[in-house]
Amino acid sequence: MAFVNSYPDLKTRKDSRSNLLRISIKRNTIVSGVLFILVLTFSLTTYFVFNDLKRRRVLFFPELKSLKLSGEVRYLPKRNDMESEIELLLKELILGPSREDHLMLVSRNVKLLSMIVKNREVFVNFSSDILFEVAQNRLGLNETFSAIADSIIFNFPTIRRVYFFIEGQIPKGTDYVKGLGYDNKILK
């Protein structure tokens, strides 16, 4: 009889083990759910906080075949003021395109000597290398300056005119005294 009486004791042990297993599974599910929600919250917070640190900019480069300007999207770091953002845009234009079907606007030897934003106008001063290196991109100096002005005005619509200087001088034989506005004739 003692054997029969111990049998129900085994059954209750099995039941208590299965109950403990169920409790353990429920606890693991709850912990996993809470961890998932925490990771999701952290990811979304990080995305929305740090996504504001970059600005979407469109840089215009001539296409290899047609020489028409085509846009290339880049995400550039956000700067404190418009002048710094335009300076960064100009440096990116000097670095050149990332797409293989685009040509460079200017050689990487060209230096941005200075750049000033005043009264919704931009004054850009390049090194004299721009005169000698323009031939590599198959665009003339006028088209190159026009493409740079288009990139600036397209990304900063409050800018009305862009004036170009080479080593502080207005390029000879050009009509840059009036400055350049947005020209969509050479866009693709």
pLDDT per position as a tens digit, 37-71: 888 888 877 777 766 678 899 999 998 888 888 89
* Residue range 63-80: mean pLDDT, rounded: 89
Report if residue 150 sits inside a domain: yes
Report if residue 28 sits inside a domain: no
Report if residue 19 sits inside a domain: no
Pick the range with the lowest mean pLDDT from 12-16, 25-29, 77-81: 12-16
The number of residues making up the chain comes to 188
Pick the range with the lowest mean pLDDT from 7-21, 55-69, 73-87: 7-21
Range of the domain at 151: 52-186
pLDDT category of residue 14 using cuts at 50, 70 and 90:
low
- The pLDDT value recorded for residue 154 is 93
Strand-pair category, 54-62 with 69-77: antiparallel
Report if residue 78 sits inside a domain: yes
- Burial (Cβ within 10 Å: 0-12, 13-18, ≥19) of residue 149: buried
Judged against a pLDDT cut of 90, whether residue 115 lies above it is answered with: yes
Report if residue 119 sits inside a domain: yes
Q: Assess contact for 112 and 150: CB atoms under 8 A.
A: no
Question: Which residues, in sequence order, are CB contacts of 104 under 8 Å at separation 6+?
Answer: 61, 96, 97, 136, 137
Q: Assess contact for 109 and 95: CB atoms under 8 A.
A: no
For the chain, report the end-to-end CA distance as a whole number of angstroms.
97
Report if residue 59 sits inside a domain: yes
Q: How many structural domains does the chain have?
A: 1
Q: What is the Cβ-side half-sphere exposure of residue 107, based on CA atoms within 13 angstroms? A: 13
**Does pTM surpass 0.75?**
no
Report if residue 93 sits inside a domain: yes
Distance of CA 64 to the CA centre of its chain: 23
Per-position DSSP letters for 39-60, written without gaps between them = HHHHHHHHHHHHGGGEEEEEEE
Q: Is the dihedral of CA 103, 105, 111, 117 positive or negative?
A: negative
Of 110, 126, 119, nearest to 83 (Cα)? 119
Query: Comparing 6 with 59, which gets the higher pLDDT?
Result: 59
Report if residue 57 sits inside a domain: yes
Q: What is the pLDDT of residues 137-183, one digit of tens each?
A: 677 888 888 889 999 999 999 999 899 999 988 877 555 555 565 55
Q: Is the dihedral of CA 164, 126, 144, 74 positive or negative?
A: negative
